[in-house]
Amino acid sequence: MSTDTTHRSTTHGPDTHRNGVDTATLFATLDAVKAAPAAARFQFRAHNTWQSGTHSRSTISDFFGVGEERVHEREFVFDADHPAVLVGQDRGPTPVEMLLHALAACLTAGIANIASARGVTLTSVRSTVTGDIDLNGILGLQPVRNGYSGVGVRFVVEGDAPEDVLRGIVEQSRSRSAVFDVMTTGVPVDIEVEVA
Amino acid sequence: MSTDTTHRSTTHGPDTHRNGVDTATLFATLDAVKAAPAAARFQFRAHNTWQSGTHSRSTISDFFGVGEERVHEREFVFDADHPAVLVGQDRGPTPVEMLLHALAACLTAGIANIASARGVTLTSVRSTVTGDIDLNGILGLQPVRNGYSGVGVRFVVEGDAPEDVLRGIVEQSRSRSAVFDVMTTGVPVDIEVEVA
Enumerate the H helices of chain B as residue ranges: 3-12, 23-35, 95-117, 163-175, 178-185
- The residue of chain B with its CA nearest to that of A87 is B26
- A125 vs B contacts (CB less than 8 Å): 49-50, 56
Collect all residues with Cβ–Cβ distance below 8 Å to A7 and sequence separation of at least 6.
none
Same domain, B182 and B98: yes
Task: Give domain status of residue B3, yes or no.
Answer: no
Label residue B16 by pLDDT band (50, 70, 90).
Answer: confident
Contact (CB, 8 A) for A64 and B61: no
Task: Give domain status of residue B11, yes or no.
Answer: no
Same domain, A70 and A85: yes
Q: What are phi and psi of B175, to 5 degrees?
A: -75, -10
For residue B43, give the 3-state DSSP assignment: strand
ipTM for the complex? Answer: 0.93
Q: How far is B8 from chain A (nearest CA, A)?
A: 24
Query: In total, how many domains does chain A have?
Result: 2
pLDDT at B43 over 80: yes
Same domain, A62 and A138: no
Using CB atoms within 10 A of its CB, is residue B132 exposed (0-12), middle (13-18) or buried (19+)? Answer: middle
**Domain boundary residue, one of B70, B92, B114:** B92
Task: Give domain status of residue A46, yes or no.
Answer: yes
pLDDT of residue A15: 61
Closest CA to A108 of B167, B53, B185: B53
Cβ <8 Å between B131 and A45: yes
Q: How far is A138 from chain B (nearest CA, A)?
A: 5
Among candidates B54, B100, B146 on the partner chain, residue whose Cβ is nearest the Cβ of A177: B146
pTM of the model as a whole: 0.93
Same domain, B103 and B172: yes
Task: Give domain status of residue B195, yes or no.
Answer: no
Closest CA to B118 of B71, B75, B173: B173
Q: Which one-letter amino acid corresponds to residue A185?
A: T
Same domain, A179 and A104: yes
pLDDT at B178 over 80: yes
Same domain, B52 and B121: no
Task: Give domain status of residue B111, yes or no.
Answer: yes
**Domain boundary residue, one of A92, A114, A140:** A92
Task: Give domain status of residue A47, yes or no.
Answer: yes
Residue A30 burial (CB count, 10 A): 15
Q: Which residue segment(s) compose the domain that A72 sits in? A: 18-92
Collect all residues with Cβ–Cβ distance below 8 Å to B102 and sequence separation of at least 6.
A80, A95, A96, A98, A99, A102, B179
Same domain, B114 and B164: yes
Q: How far is A189 from chain B (nearest CA, A)?
A: 5
Contact (CB, 8 A) for B94 and B86: yes
Same domain, B80 and B111: no
pLDDT at B88 over 70: yes
pLDDT of residue B14: 53
Of the listed ranges A7-21, A123-137, B157-171, B181-195, the one predicted with least confidence: A7-21
CATH at residue A54: 3.30.300.20
Q: At what angle do helices A95-117 and A178-185 cross, to 10 degrees?
A: 140
pLDDT of residue B130: 98
Closest CA to A137 of A128, A127, A147, A129: A147
Cβ <8 Å between B21 and A54: yes
Same domain, B98 and B182: yes
pLDDT of residue B15: 61
Q: How far is B11 from chain A (nearest CA, A)?
A: 20
Same domain, A98 and A178: yes
Closest CA to B125 of A52, A83, A90: A52
Cβ <8 Å between B184 and A186: yes
Task: Give domain status of residue B39, yes or no.
Answer: yes
Q: What are phi and psi of A116, to 5 degrees?
A: -65, -45
First and final C-alpha spacing in chain B: 69
- Which of B75, B98, B116 should one mutate to test binding to chain A, selecting the residue with the greatest count of A CBs within 10 A? B98
How many C-alpha atoms does B32 have within 13 Å on its Cβ side? 14
**Domain boundary residue, one of A72, A92, A112:** A92
- Which of A111, A146, A170, A192 should one mutate to test binding to chain B, selecting the residue with the greatest count of B CBs within 10 A? A146
Residue A64 burial (CB count, 10 A): 15
Residue A34 burial (CB count, 10 A): 14
What is the spatial distance between Cα B164 and Cα A150, in angstroms, rounded to a whole number? 35
What is the spatial distance between Cα A76 and Cα B26, in angstroms, rounded to a whole number? 31
- A170 vs B contacts (CB less than 8 Å): 191, 193
Please give the angle made by the CA atoms of A111, B74 and A60, to the nearest 5 degrees.
55
pLDDT at B34 over 70: yes
DSSP string, A38-88: GGGEEEEEEEEEEEETTEEEEEEEEEEETTEEEEEEEEEEEEE---GGGTS
Same domain, A125 and A144: yes
Same domain, A53 and A119: no
- The residue of chain A with its CA nearest to that of B141 is A34
Q: How far is A96 from chain B (nearest CA, A)?
A: 6
Q: Are strands B150-159 and A150-159 parallel, antiparallel or unpaired?
A: unpaired
Task: Give domain status of residue B193, yes or no.
Answer: no
Among candidates B50, B84, B194 on the partner chain, residue whose Cβ is nearest the Cβ of A108: B50
Q: What is the mean pLDDT of each run of 10 residues along chain A (196 residues)?
A: 32 68 92 95 98 98 97 98 95 98 98 97 98 97 97 98 98 98 98 97
